[in-house]
Amino acid sequence: MVGEEYRRWEGDMEALYVYTAGVAGDRFFREIRDNERLMGTYCPECDVTYLPPRLYCETCFSELNEWEEIPNKGRVDAITVAYVDDKGERLARPKVLAMVRFLGANGGLIHVVDLPEEDVYRGMEVEVVYLPRGLRKGSFLDILHFKAI
Amino acid sequence: MVGIGYEGFPRETPHYSFKELTFEAALKAYEDAGVDPRKDVDSFVVCEEDYWAGWSISDEGAPDQLGGVLRPLHTVSGDGLNGVANAFMQIKTGYFDVVVVEAHSKASDILTYEGILTFAFDPLFYRLLNAHPHFLAGLEMDAFLEDHENTEEDCAEVVRKNRENARHHEAASFGGQTSVQEVMDSEVLFRPLKAAEISPLADGSIVLVLASAEKARELTDQPIWIRGIGWSSDSPWLETRSLAEARYARWAADQAYRMAGLERPRRRVHVAEVDDRFAYKELQHLEALGLAGGNRAGALLREGFYEMKGDLPANPSGGSLGVGNLLEASGLFRVMEIVRQLRGQAGEHQVEGATLGVAQSWRGIPTATGGVAVLEA
Ligand SMILES: [Zn+2]
């Protein structure tokens, strides 16, 4: 058997979906598109504001109906630099990604930081940059990146 | 635990279908346990995930290669250690005497591994970043090194140790001598994570046979006992889970240790097999399992505590870094390895005199799910 080619066929499992943003996600993306602002849901029981927002509290399981605006400025909490793309191919320009935490919010956002990797450090202040109004579609990618303040 | 069997763990298995791979492992496990699946096994638990199989509702394809046609069978869409927990609970009901657990990896059949991991991210958020899914491991490692008393060199040391241990495992595909410097010099892919710190994929199937205490004593004079088992998931939201700490593993360990009545595990456990799919994960998991005296896994590693000849050998098998990433079979591999150690059947990587061991699983990027089992001879 050794040296023979074993039978194997290439195939795929293509499937298409629509992904429902839900009550909390819908408002979150709408606020980004229309008002360039981050909104979170507030849990009075736990006194925390969730970013990204959700309809229920993961700590006490209350339904959340109160919304709070979250400042557009945050601080870098963790950093990675991807030197390869989504398929593992070397990137011409490395992608700096950071977890950014916002004052008053439980959670944060991960996104690209538009700076050379050596200029990004833990604790640095960054600001959310949105796509220009006419280009925004109410998606996560309406957030273009974080930039230094 | 009355029977173990595996088929593996090469980089690829072009001659076997995943069903045949499982059949070969099952034959060995049933021989080891002295059971006939068509007569003696009351229930089967299979751990798999459709996307790894490239086959939807793939669990429907599970019964025949295990001898489980027209028998109770259920699938756990998760790691094999969760399957052990399910089998354990079935036996505890008193309605099942012998339960079989199976998990496998046919990673060599997957042409777009990164794509499947990317599909595991929230489709409305981070799937859209168009980034390689291992970016999350880079972020976690960065958070872990910032918050805990460990260094990049400590992570490189994990690779050196596990690849060295794997030289003594009869079925490991990635054993070898690697220096810390070589790991540090390997390509940085997701800073601070380096290429040599990412476990390579391998193929294999693992089958374990569990039995009630009474039945186990009937089947073997060397049963291995599950003293405690636990599992948990941290928040699925990357923003509210802990990046620095493996809280899922801490919670699972608390449950397993409580059930086992195990206190001060670092002093009492003789051998541990923990998830090391990325090198930093081994240190993070040892700390979460209370096997590192707080956040001191790196320091203990440097002192030789986790070496083959140390006080608490960690991943004497070589782990995923040395043996290969076995996808959903990764946790089941670790349970099997602890059983071998406690039976004194681990061959060249035997830890002398081991009678109490811990196995721990993690479901891989981007999950925060894991399980822990405490096993005793
Ligand atoms: Zn709450």
Inter-chain touch B128–A77, beta carbons under 8 Å: no
What is the distance between the alpha carbons of residues B157 and B121, in angstroms, rounded to a whole number? 30
- Asked whether the predicted pLDDT for residue B373 surpasses 70, the reply is yes
Q: What percent of chain B has pLDDT over 90?
A: 99
Residue A1 lies in a domain: no
Residue A12 lies in a domain: no
Which helix (H) or strand (E) is B85 found in, with range?
A: helix B80-92
Strands annotated E in A64-118: 66-70, 73-84, 90-102, 106-107, 109-112
The tokens describing A120, both together, are 């990004």
How far, in Å, from the CA of A59 to the mean position of ligand 1? Answer: 5
Q: Are residues B348 and B244 in the same domain?
A: yes
Range of A96's domain? 22-148
B299, B315: one domain? yes
Quick check: is B116 in a domain?
A: no
Does any domain span residue A29?
A: yes
The answer to whether residues B257 and B313 belong to one domain is yes
Assess if residue B88 is contained within a domain: yes
What pLDDT does A94 receive?
96
Which residues in chain A come in under a pLDDT of 50? 1-2
B157/B291 same-domain check: yes
Residues of chain B found within 8 Å of residue A110, distances taken between Cβ atoms: 126, 129, 139, 238-239
- Interval B78-133: pLDDT, tens: 999 999 999 999 999 999 999 999 999 999 999 999 999 999 999 999 999 999 99
How far, in whole angstroms, is CA B293 from its chain's centroid?
A: 22
- Based on the domain organization, do B159 and B264 belong to the same domain? yes
Parent domain of B50 = 3-111+203-219
DSSP codes joined into one string, B132-170 = -TTHHHHHHHHHHHHHSS--HHHHHHHHHHHHHHHTTST
- Put simply, the answer to whether A107 touches B240 (Cβ < 8 Å) is yes
Looking at the structure, tell me whether residues B81 and B65 fall in a common domain: yes
A3 occurs within a structural domain: no
Q: What is the pLDDT of residues A33-63, one digit of tens each?
A: 999 999 999 999 999 999 999 999 999 999 9
Residues in B closer than 8 angstroms to A8, CB to CB, are 14, 109
B214 shares its domain with B173: no
User: Token pair for residue B40?
Assistant: 């003696």
Q: Which residues contact B72 (CB under 8 A, 6 or more apart)?
A: B42, B43, B44, B96
- Ligand 1 centroid – CA A43 distance (Å): 5
Q: Give me the CATH number covering residue A46.
A: 2.40.50.140
C-beta of residue B324 within 8 angstroms of C-beta of residue B201: yes
Q: Is residue A37 part of a domain?
A: yes
Indicate whether A38 belongs to any domain: yes
Q: Would you call B124 and A139 a contact, using CB atoms and an 8 Å cutoff?
A: yes
The average confidence (pLDDT) of chain B is: 97
Residue B124 lies in a domain: no
Same domain, B37 and B172: no
Residues B25 and B95 both lie in one domain: yes
Q: Could you report the per-residue pLDDT of B312-367, keeping only the tens digit for each?
A: 999 999 999 999 999 999 999 999 999 999 999 999 999 999 999 999 999 999 99
Tell me how far the alpha carbon of residue A108 lies from the centroid of ligand 1, in angstroms.
Answer: 17
User: What total of structural domains would you count in chain A?
Assistant: 1
Q: Is B118 within the bounds of a domain?
A: no
Do B342 and B245 sit in the same domain of this protein?
A: yes
Domain membership of residue B117 (yes or no) is no
Are B138 and A82 in contact (CB < 8 Å)? yes
In a domain, B126, yes or no: no
* Minimum mean pLDDT range among B2-11, B145-154, B262-271: B145-154
Q: How many domains does chain B have?
A: 2
Over range B47-76, report the average pLDDT: 95
Query: So what's the pLDDT on residue A1?
Result: 42
Smallest CA–CA separation between A96 and chain B, in Å?
A: 9
Does residue B104 share a domain with residue B10?
yes
Task: Say whether both B214 and B138 belong to one domain.
Answer: no
Q: Cβ of A97 and B146 within 8 Å?
A: no
Q: Domain containing B30 — which CATH number?
A: 3.40.47.10
- A41 Cα: distance to centroid of ligand 1 (angstroms): 10
pLDDT of residue A4: 63
CA–CA dist B19, B207 (Å, integer):
12
Domain contains B122: no
Model confidence pLDDT, tens digit, residues B126-166: 999 999 999 999 999 999 999 888 999 999 999 999 999 99
